[in-house]
Amino acid sequence: MDLSLFLSIIIGNIFINNFILFKFLGLCPFIGVSKRTRPALSMGVAVIFVMTLSSIITWCIYNFLLLPFNIEFLRTISFVLVIASFVQLAEMIILKTNPTLYRILGVYLPLITTNCAVLGVTVLNVNMFFKQGGPVPGSFFYTVLQGFCAGVGFMLAMLLMSGIRERLELLDVPESLKGIPAAFIVASLMSLAFMGFAGFKF
C-alpha cells in the first residue's frame, strides 16, 4: 500500500479537494439543508452511506462488467442507476426509522440521486484507479476509501455551514443579505479558507 497515496486520499478529499468547497459539486443540498445542524448532520451521514456503497458497486460494475465487454461508454448511465438505487434505500431507511427527520429533509433527500458530488466521486474513482484497461494495485481499497472520505468532507462542510448559519440568525444581518445571499457569502469565505490546505505536502 502506498502510504502517501493513502494520506493524500484522506486529507485531499476532506480538506484540499473538498467536493463542495473546492469542486463546487452538491451545492443544492449544501445550501438547502444547512440551516440547522441536525438535518445537516443527517444529510451528511446519508451522503457518506450513498457515496461509500456506490463506490463499491460501481467499481465492481466497471471492473467485472463494463471493462470485460468493452462497454465503458455505459459508465455514466450505469453509475446513475446504482446511485439512484442507494438513495431510494437510504430514503426508505430514514422514513422507517425517523419520520420527523424525513419530513425535515424533504425534497433534498431524493435530490441525492441528482447530487453531482456522488456521481463525481464514482467517476473520479474510475479515472484515478483504472489505468491501461485494468485496475491499479489496491484499486478497490482506494476506491472505497475515497468514497468514504469524500462523504466525510461533504458532511464537514455541511456541519460548518449549518453552525455558521445558526449563529447568523442571532445577529442583526441586513435584510437584503438574509437567507441565501448570506449563505453564498459564507460559502465563498469557507472555500477561500479551505484553500489554505492546498499547501500540504506528503
pLDDT of res. 196: 83
**Exposure string over 72-100, b if 16+ CB within 10 A, otherwise e:** eeebeebbbebbbebbeebbeebeeeeee
Domain assignment of residue 4, yes or no: no
Residue 54, pLDDT above cutoff 80? yes
Lowest mean pLDDT among 9-18, 52-61, 103-112: 103-112
Residue 113, pLDDT above cutoff 70? no
Give, as one character, the DSSP assignment of residue 72: G
pLDDT of res. 200: 67
Domain assignment of residue 80, yes or no: yes
Residues of the domain holding 162: 12-199
Q: What's the total number of domains in the chain?
A: 1
Domain assignment of residue 5, yes or no: no
Q: At 3, is the pLDDT very low, low, confident or very high (cuts 50, 70, 90)?
A: confident
Look over the chain and give the mean of its residue pLDDT values, rounded to a whole number: 89
CA 92 – CA 73 distance, rounded (Å): 31
CA 162 – CA 37 distance, rounded (Å): 5
